[in-house]
Amino acid sequence: MQAHWATEKAKATSEKARASRMSDRNGLGPHSHRAGSRSFVRVKDILEENNEDCSFIAVMKKTHQKPDGTYDDQRARLVAETYEKQIQERLGQLESSGEENLTAETLDEHEKNEIYIKAAGSSKHGHIFGLGALIEALPSVGASSSAPQTSEEVETITHRLQEMETDLRKSLEENLQTQKRLEAMEKLVESLARQNV
């Protein structure tokens, strides 16, 4: 092991990784979190077990916020501020449509998570800040950040599926007929071959 890390290639790799970890991230400083060795998935599980809010913002706050309420990572602070602004905008939209006495707690977890994803944005690799591997553990969220499908979309998909099933049945019937023709031709060739012998 020591021999490996003594090589120039390993030293270069180590230095590159260190520089990456310590990068300034456009003035936000190096990334840090308070989860320790626990995965963010485990942090979410603990929140669920304790019947606490386990939305993405709650996980991010649990892993990036100090006990005094400040953040140990400047990007986490910016994401939290952006999230709060977007929550207030969403509540304003709901109030203008006639709903009353709204707070962030009245929004369901799915809607909070969608707002968090918009607030945090994603990297060029598709990673969402503050979630670690949590997004991969939730394929329904990681797959798409769009709203649920409308009944028209479901109807269109169902219709297309029915068309594909019909086409498949026709193809199977054609294949069966072709197979029967081939078998008949093989029998004919065999009988002709016997007659010529």
The phi, psi pair for 128, rounded to 5°, reads -105, 125
Task: Count structural domains, the chain.
Answer: 2
Residue 173 and residue 128 in one domain: no
Over range 169-192, report the average pLDDT: 92
Residue 166 and residue 72 in one domain: no
Residue 86 and residue 161 in one domain: no
Residue 20 is assigned to a structural domain of this protein: no
Residue 137 is assigned to a structural domain of this protein: yes
Cα separation, 147 vs 154, in Å, equals: 13
Residue 136 and residue 158 in one domain: no
pLDDT tens by residue, 4-31:
888 999 888 888 877 766 665 555 555 6
Collect contacts of 74-82 with beta carbons under 8 A, ≥24 apart. Answer: 74/28, 74/29, 75/25, 75/28, 75/31, 75/129, 76/33, 76/129, 76/130, 78/28, 79/116, 79/119, 79/120, 79/129, 79/130, 82/119, 82/120
Cα separation, 164 vs 182, in Å, equals: 27
Residue 156 and residue 97 in one domain: no
pLDDT tens by residue, 149-174:
566 777 778 778 888 888 888 999 99
For residue 147, the model assigns a pLDDT of: 47
What per-residue string of b and e applies to 117-128 under the rule 16 or more CB within 10 Å gives b?
Answer: bebbeeeeeeeb
Cα separation, 181 vs 176, in Å, equals: 9
Cα separation, 174 vs 94, in Å, equals: 56
Count how many residues are written for the chain: 197
Residue 120 and residue 166 in one domain: no
Residue 157 and residue 66 in one domain: no
Q: Are 68 and 100 in contact (CB under 8 A)?
A: no
Which contiguous run of DSSP H or E holds residue 85?
helix 74-96
Residue 131 and residue 172 in one domain: no
**pTM for this entry:** 0.56
Domain, as residue range, for 126: 27-143
Residue 104 and residue 33 in one domain: yes
